[in-house]
Amino acid sequence: MLMIDKTFEVITEESAENGESSDAGFSAINEKVSFRDLVNLMAEKYTHPSQYPVARSTRVWFTSEVDQDYRTGEYRSESIHFSSDNPTFKAKYWIKAMGFAGYLRDQRVAA
């Protein structure tokens, strides 16, 4: 099992005018997920890597599509991160999950 942290960010019209979010923080810390679940999360829900091309690093996080609450006008996104509380050897599984989710293909071809 790997541990991931989940964060969220909420942006309103007013906060966007100031270039800030209205609310942000952690929605889960050290949530345990299987390798298969992590690959599925990266491939299906959290499909936007924090950088492109994607580096083979645990510093890369993945963000969901932005959802809008049509009643309030708020925009909310969530991200998953490799938990810093994972043992060091688990980093290779985060990187392998990125490959299985399809984010490292371009680098394999170029290498």
Over the stretch 22-52, which tens digit does the pLDDT of each residue have? 899 999 999 999 999 999 999 999 999 999 8
Q: Which residues pair with 10 in a beta bridge?
A: 23, 76
Domain ranges in the chain are 2-110
Checking if the pLDDT of 21 tops 60, the result is yes
Please give the single-letter amino acid code of residue 68. Q
Tens-place pLDDT, residues 54-83: 889 999 999 999 999 999 889 999 999 999
Spatial separation of the C-alpha atoms in residues 1 and 90, rounded to whole Å:
9
Q: What token pair was written down for 95? A: 């990187």
Q: Which of 14, 26, 3, 27 is nearest to 75 (CA)?
A: 14
Report the predicted TM-score, pTM, of the whole model to 2 decimal places.
0.86
Checking if the pLDDT of 9 tops 50, the result is yes
Contact 26, 7 (CB under 8 A): yes
The predicted pLDDT at position 106 comes to: 54
Checking if the pLDDT of 109 tops 50, the result is no
High-pLDDT (> 90) share of the chain, %? 77
